[in-house]
Amino acid sequence: MDSKIGRVALGVVAVAAAVVLLVVLSSNDDTGSDEGTGGAASASRPAEDEKGSGGDKGDAGKPAVPTIVVRGGEPVGGIEELSYDAGEQIHFAVRSDTADELHIHGYDIERELPAGRTVVIQFPADIEGIFEAELHESDTQIAELRIEP
Amino acid sequence: MTLLPYAHALVAREDLPIPAWLFAWGASIVLIASFFALSVAWRTPRFEDDRWRPYGAGVSRVLLGIPLQVLCGAIGVLLLGLTVYAGLKGTTAPDRNFAITFAFVTAWLGFPVLSVLLGDVFRPFNPWRAIGRAAGGVFRAAAGQEPRHLPYPEGLGRWPAAAGLVAFVWLEIVYGPSGGIAVALSPDDAAVAALVYSGYTLAMMGLFGVERWCERGEVFSVYFGMFASLGAFAAREGRFGMRKPLSAAGRWAVVPASAAVVIASLGTTVFDGAQEGGLEGPMESVGEWLTDAGLSEIAATRIADTAFILLCIGAIALVYELGVRGMASVRGAPPLDRLRSAFAHTLVPIALAYLVAHYFSLFVFQEQAQFTYLLSDPLGDGADLFGTAGSGIDFRLLSANAIWYVQVAALVVGHVIGLVLAHDRATALWGDYRQAARSQYWMLAVMVAFTCLGLYLLSVANS
């Protein structure tokens, strides 16, 4: 550590290690983020398509709106994960078999959910972060909204 | 996971995980900075001398004078009283009750940052210290003599504060009825805990003396004082003055078990970060296993969380211990005990970095609530004292990118300052510069481990 050469060698090793780490991690990132944005753009993941086949898929050409079905105060198939990029429109539908009220945290949006009716929810995704959508009657979370920059 | 009542807690919004490219950049900068630090390192200590220059007598007379001390103490007692009152009498919704946000966000997260910037500001506002001193004054006036105290067992050091710190975070994160959701404690539980803690603290102050207990055992004094030791401003011997930043941290850690306080701080923050991502799976598995074994869901969650919070603290302690043992193997090293406390202060900047990285966004958003509707409607019963009860939190204030950059910058800066302090301490402990440098490979490894762990937790949280 005393000699100049030692220090230079150490520096070279450090930079090399950093570069390797950067390359390894950023190559992971490339594939990861491609998947991520792909999923986010359509705002529907494979699981949602299977489950969200509510009947509002009629229009050809239009992307399906994910529909969350609530039965007995619980979301069928668990908490729905919905991803959007900031600036997009958040667009999904909820159908509950009992009357309830939907509350979306952060955005502070509240919507009545009449029993058995499909309610379409749409608003601009202008706050980044992760937000819960929950039912007020049962305090149950039915969806998680992820708004990525 | 089934949600139990109080799922609202305070968190209406959660941070997005930092993206992989930022994680990679953060980790790379940490490595480069570390090796760069090794190659430019200085050979004589620069932060061991905590010489301090007092300001003019007028400044001290105002800042440390009796009127201001009485005023600050009264404000502290008033705020403690309001917290307990709101907790007991106010709404049970944690996000609408003054008590929860004030205790766990405004005070708990605000004082560490204020302490670094302005000095030990908690000291004058400490409600228990104010009550204790007032009681001492009454005693002196009535009995005509100084109150007598038991000698504090020196070996006990700051263990009571370290244990109290873990208990506080346990109450905040683990005990809350929804378990695993940050700040899910119900307001009345918080108020009862505050009353129990007040009774305990005043009793200890009576036994050992107010100032002694504040230095060793009073959780908040010790914890906030730890961060104040990094900063430039301090009062000493009745004068207010300034010193070189970072130079007092080493002296703070001389009291036994100071390392335990820093490790408890790091470990509990790691736990809070890990339960949002890194450890979420294992924690749920243990919880389910305990439920299957016949425990109620809440008991199972609490037991699992308690085990994991202890595990996190243990893991941090283990990494530090490995670093210390590594240093002890370098020729000319001081004894193990001495080493253990000699490098405790080098973790304080990392503990602060963890706090900022983990709670920065929560603090910024929740303070909007604190100064609008929680101030106007502290009990959540529809009052509107200052006309701000209708305001809400503007979550557009911080973009995800802004939060990410603050998080990563905090960790990198904390890491560099930790390295600086560790290197400086080594040059003071080892007479021979080469051995000092060699010992620092070990601390470097410890710091890289902590910083990369912090980055990792941010990258997997809520993902």
A106-120 pLDDT per residue, tens: 888 999 999 999 999
What the block records as the tokens of B216 is: 């060793």
- CB nearest B31 (choices: A21, A24, A107): A21
Give B118's pLDDT tier (boundaries 50, 70, 90). very high
pLDDT exceeds cutoff 70 at B352: yes
Cβ contact (<8 Å) for B395 and A10? Answer: no
pLDDT exceeds cutoff 60 at A37: no
Give B5's pLDDT tier (boundaries 50, 70, 90). very low
- CB nearest B20 (choices: A25, A106, A140): A25
Mean pLDDT of B193-214: 97
For residue B185, the model assigns a pLDDT of 83
- CB nearest B3 (choices: A10, A141, A149): A141
pLDDT exceeds cutoff 90 at B269: yes
Q: Chain A interface, mutation test: which of B8, B21, B401, most A Cβ atoms within 10 Å?
A: B21
For residue A30, the model assigns a pLDDT of 43
Cβ contact (<8 Å) for A15 and B3? Answer: no
- CB nearest B396 (choices: A126, A148, A149): A126
pLDDT exceeds cutoff 80 at B283: yes
B72-88 pLDDT per residue, tens: 999 999 999 999 999 99
In words, the CATH class of domain A46-148 is: mainly beta
Mean pLDDT of B185-200: 94
Window from A34-48, A130-144, B129-143 with minimum mean pLDDT: A34-48
Report percent pLDDT > 70 for chain B.
96
Q: Is B397 on the interface with A (CB under 8 A)?
A: no
Mean pLDDT of B42-71: 90
Residue ranges covered by each domain of chain A: 1-42, 46-148
For residue B336, the model assigns a pLDDT of 93
For residue A13, the model assigns a pLDDT of 65
For residue A26, the model assigns a pLDDT of 54
B390-408 pLDDT per residue, tens: 888 889 899 999 999 999 9
CA distance B196 to chain A (A): 31
Q: Which helix or strand (DSSP H or E) is residue A68 part of? A: strand A67-71
pLDDT exceeds cutoff 60 at A62: no
Instruction: Give the HSE-up count for residue B415: Cα atoms under 13 Å, Cβ half-sphere.
Output: 31
Cβ contact (<8 Å) for A1 and B438? Answer: yes
Mean pLDDT of A58-64: 55
Mean pLDDT of A27-37: 42
Q: Is B42 on the interface with A (CB under 8 A)?
A: no
Give B4's pLDDT tier (boundaries 50, 70, 90). very low
Report percent pLDDT > 90 for chain B.
71
Residue with more model confidence, B105 or A42:
B105
Contact map slice: B 319-378 vs A, CB within 8 A: none
With CA atoms as reference, the chain B residue closest to A136 would be B8
Distance CA B113, CA A35 (A): 39
CA distance B75 to chain A (A): 33
pLDDT exceeds cutoff 80 at A20: no
- CB nearest B28 (choices: A21, A139, A141): A21
For residue A12, the model assigns a pLDDT of 63
Residue ranges covered by each domain of chain B: 20-460
For residue A40, the model assigns a pLDDT of 38
Report percent pLDDT > 70 for chain A.
58
Residue with more model confidence, A14 or B196:
B196
Query: What is this structure's pTM?
Result: 0.86
Cβ contact (<8 Å) for A139 and B434? Answer: no
Max mean pLDDT range (A24-33, B33-42, B197-206): B197-206
Distance CA A146, CA B15 (A): 10
- Sheet with B233-236, strands from edge to edge, namely B52-54, B239-243, B233-236
